[in-house]
Structure 1
């Protein structure tokens, strides 16, 4: 048989609990005011923040790097789209692309698609570095419990998995970025003139269907896995190997980032090239697309433009990837250090 608590007693209990909560809150605020550094440290070490920090730090690092590198990314995309379908077509250089962009508009046109690039980093790099850090912590804990150390194979696996998962989440922003950057190549009457990444996403969804936002997802995922294999695995491995040298910690990070950037560029450029072509394409009046998918694009480009076309602009791509990797990893490293 249940016994009902008198209303007056229930009210007193609620009042007492409320006063206790308010007292705790007041004490917390007072302590925070008196010792802000300690309060910040306590907050950063809550279970939620410890799990969220790798993702937050990764997103901030990626967005910082994108702001610095965006003009180079714009040049890279224009190089990949030049001479499409023609083996002996034009062979632009980074300098000629810059001249063309400046001649047709303003210097700020080099930052076309920055909003999409930032959104992509907020989603993609946040997930990529966050997942990688989480996977590495789990692998390290597991290895230490067995008296072993995490090896290159485990680092590579963590990089591949983190890149693939993040790429699927970030594909819509990636597609919007390519559309915004390639829009200037069309005749003036055919340009979409997207106002922002949100405008691009809404209009693409409305005119082509929501699923179109995941166009080129397969090569995007493969590219991300290849890039992360080269970037995260080789960065982690290089940094581990450089610990035994006389280089300062900062120099070790810079050197490891440069090495990681080279391998990331080498492994991922062909997939980045195909991703750009697939995301740029739009349907012809009869409803057909130039490429049916990743393998069809590889086949047609190899046949019509030659195998070396996949590595066109490698220098520009490296200059885009390596500094981006360096800025991202250095900022993430620093943020990780100050939020320990």
Structure 2
């Protein structure tokens, strides 16, 4: 991502990294949504990947795998647009400051951390709506919110809980995004350089190899934070109005006490399978979008 230098002047060069990032993320989400749904159900204690898939097909039908797709697309249109666009801008600025030389890994990691924080702040409302819509069917009938789409979910959250509720769980969301983007973006750029310069691989092999590496590191770095974030965002008060967790740290400590460190890695195989293909398809779609734009002179 850091190799291409943007054109100067005009509005399009400034917004292009954001448009491309959001579009590639949304296309990838359309393919990954069923796996993401299974991942969330595993984290909510619904069983293994096989059990969750079987029960969803039996009790809710095929459409259940795409529940929350509107929120997922809205999330990509905000979160991924902001993080990939910000990372592109940050790395280009850093390369300019480095006299055009490739960035060392630690600078790429810093750019990834920063871009992740920016994207998470922008995308938290859509992420909250997505988690609630995916978790709704696991709640008792009386507690289900029955959101019809992402925009209705956002409207009801504001109406019932206030505007600030849209950023419920923002703390763990930001931390999780910083960890994920540090692993995903920095390792991807570093792997691309290694595959091209050291191994002499072609474009397709480079994208597949680098995105596989970045997908693994993104999953390994971010899953504990993703688990905590999911628990915080889907929690509801009991009969006395008390929430099960007072915050992300309290959730993490109670989880460690109840199940040990590995509890934070619940659903890691499915999470890794979900993250890696999404990363790969995002880069592939992004590459194709950039080629199309280049052929059109954009």
TM-score range, shorter chain: over 0.9
Off by >4 Å, runs of 4+ in structure 1: none
Partner residue of 1:205? 158
Partner residue of 1:77? 40
Partner residue of 1:173? 126
Question: Offset at 1:189?
Answer: 3.0
Partner residue of 2:91? 136
Alpha-carbon distance in 2 for matches of 1:202, 1:166: 21
Question: Offset at 1:202?
Answer: 1.1
Query: What TM-score do you get using the length of structure 1 for normalisation?
Result: 0.82
**Which residues in structure 2 correspond to 1:320-331 (within 5 Å)?**
320-331=274-285
Correspondence for 2:109 among 145, 156, 165 = 156
Alpha-carbon distance in 1 for matches of 2:186, 2:291: 20
Partner residue of 1:7? none
Correspondence for 1:119 among 71, 74, 97 = 74
Flag the 1:338–1:139 CA change in 2: closer, same or farther, 3 A. Answer: farther
Alpha-carbon distance in 2 for matches of 1:337, 1:300: 49
The range that moved more, 228-237 or 188-197, is: 188-197
Correspondence for 2:248 among 294, 301, 311 = 294
Where 2:239 maps in the other structure, the secondary structure is coil
Q: RMSD of the alignment, in Å?
A: 1.4
Query: What TM-score do you get using the length of structure 2 for normalisation?
Result: 0.93
Question: Offset at 1:292?
Answer: 0.7
Question: Offset at 1:45?
Answer: 7.6
Deviations 1:220-247 (A, max 9, x none): 1011011001110000000011112232
Alpha-carbon distance in 2 for matches of 1:336, 1:152: 24
Flag the 1:263–1:134 CA change in 2: closer, same or farther, 3 A. Answer: same
Alpha-carbon distance in 1 for matches of 2:240, 2:69: 33
Any conservation in 2 of the 1:227–1:265 contact (CA below 8 Å)? yes
Question: Offset at 1:151?
Answer: 1.2
Unaligned runs of 5+ in 1: 1-43, 84-91
Where 2:145 maps in the other structure, the secondary structure is coil
The range that moved more, 117-126 or 305-314, is: 305-314
Partner residue of 1:105? 60
The range that moved more, 300-309 or 213-222, is: 300-309
Any conservation in 2 of the 1:54–1:336 contact (CA below 8 Å)? no
Partner residue of 1:20? none
Question: Offset at 1:80?
Answer: 0.6
Question: Offset at 1:211?
Answer: 1.2
Question: Offset at 1:150?
Answer: 1.5
Alpha-carbon distance in 2 for matches of 1:232, 1:270: 18
Which has the greater radius of gyration? 1
Any conservation in 2 of the 1:152–1:233 contact (CA below 8 Å)? yes
Alpha-carbon distance in 2 for matches of 1:287, 1:211: 18
Question: Offset at 1:46?
Answer: 5.5
Partner residue of 1:89? none
